[in-house]
Amino acid sequence: MSAKDIFHEVVKLALQKEQWVITNDPLKFKYGNVNFQIDLGAERLVAAEKEGEKIAVEIKSFLNPSAITDFYAALGQFLSYRLALEANEPDRILYMAVPLDAYRTFFQLEFTQSAIRRYQVLLIVYDPVNEVIVQWIK
């Protein structure tokens, strides 16, 4: 079992503040013979829908000295998870949760912006100090 990200509980609480119900902590599933484990699975009932929105959230801290190395690992993990999730739970949308400081700096770089657009990475920007979600980026 992999270790939880340092901000795991912060993001979990922030989602709950926005009326998300944490359904899986972690969200585990198989694709073929490969086991996957995404940090969180959550649902929120949407008015006039029998079934609510379903998301999966992979939480990242970007605290290592090299943000680009963290990004390479996070992007590869995100793309692999999205592929496997599409086969197992196609109605669940995958997000990468990133801290506000990293979003304001590294995620504003031209390269990072291009990669996020090219690979259609959906982001949740969270404030680890105030334990809230600052922005959803689709």
Convert the pLDDT of each residue in 95-128 to its tens digit.
999 999 999 999 999 999 999 999 999 999 999 9
Residue 1 has pLDDT above 50, yes or no: no
Q: Tell me, what's the pLDDT at 89?
A: 95
CB 6 within 8 A of CB 61: yes
Separation between Cα atoms, residue 7 and residue 87, nearest integer Å: 28
Separation between Cα atoms, residue 109 and residue 116, nearest integer Å: 11
Q: Tell me, what's the pLDDT at 47?
A: 60
Residue 124 CA to its chain's centroid (Å) = 7
For residue 48, what are its two tokens? 């006039």
Q: Tell me, what's the pLDDT at 48?
A: 54
Residue 52 has pLDDT above 60, yes or no: yes
Residue 130 has pLDDT above 60, yes or no: yes
Separation between Cα atoms, residue 91 and residue 47, nearest integer Å: 17
What is the model's pTM?
A: 0.93
Separation between Cα atoms, residue 69 and residue 64, nearest integer Å: 8
Radius of gyration of the chain (CA): 15
Tokens 């031209």, residue? 110
Q: Tell me, what's the pLDDT at 75?
A: 98
More confident residue, 76 or 47: 76
Q: Tell me, what's the pLDDT at 46?
A: 67
The β-bridge relationship of strands 92-99 and 40-44 is: unpaired
What digits encode the pLDDT tens for the residues 14-51? 999 999 999 999 999 999 999 999 999 999 976 655 56
Q: Tell me, what's the pLDDT at 3?
A: 59
Per CATH, the architecture of 3-137 is what? 3-Layer(aba) Sandwich (3.40)
CB 20 within 8 A of CB 132: no
DSSP secondary structure code for residue 50 in this structure:
S
